[in-house]
Each structure stands twice: as structure tokens, then as C-alpha cells.
Amino acid sequence: MFSMKMARTGTWTVALFLASALSAATPAAFAAAPNCRAIESTSARLSCYDAAFPPKRKPAETGIDSSSGYKDPFLAEEARTAAKLKNICRGC
């Protein structure tokens, strides 16, 4: 019985090791980028980088705007706190 338990533990250990090794090696395979450093022409190198790493788009704005009637409850409190901090006498 003891040897069977050790065999199961060893099998799970090997399976866990293989799964972690496979998952660690996978991102490196997908991260291969073109070698833009080797390009001597400035404009060609810039276009290579632009193609390899396209600019990120800004997220779409949410439906909350000034006409929706939403009012931030902490905005007024923050203004009061900032006003109090400006009136603190330092070195009176």
C-alpha cells in the first residue's frame, strides 16, 4: 500500500512539473518580435516598430456625462479638504 501511494505521488509530481515547464515556455514562443534594431534606415526602422507594436486604442468612454445627472459625491468633500489644508499655518 505504501509503495502505491508513493507511485501516485511521483506521477502527479512529474505531471505537475511537465505542466509548469510547458506553461513557462509558451509565452517565450509567442513573444518573438521582428529584429527592428538591425534596420539602418530610420524611417524603415520606425515603420518596423509601428508594425510590431501597434498603438493602443483609447477605451471607449462610458455613458456617464454631465447631461446624465451623475454627481460625484466625493468631489465636494475633496474640495473642502483641499481648502482646509491650504489654510493650515505652517510656521506661525
pLDDT band at 71 (very low <50, low <70, confident <90, very high): confident
Domain boundary assignment for the chain: 1-54
Are residues 45 and 39 in contact, defined by beta-carbon separation less than 8 angstroms? yes
Q: What is the pTM of this model?
A: 0.31
Q: Is 49 exposed, middle or buried (0-12, 13-18, 19+ CB in 10 A)?
A: middle
pLDDT per position as a tens digit, 12-60: 777 777 777 666 655 555 555 678 888 899 999 999 988 888 878 776 6
Looking at residue 73, its pLDDT comes to 82
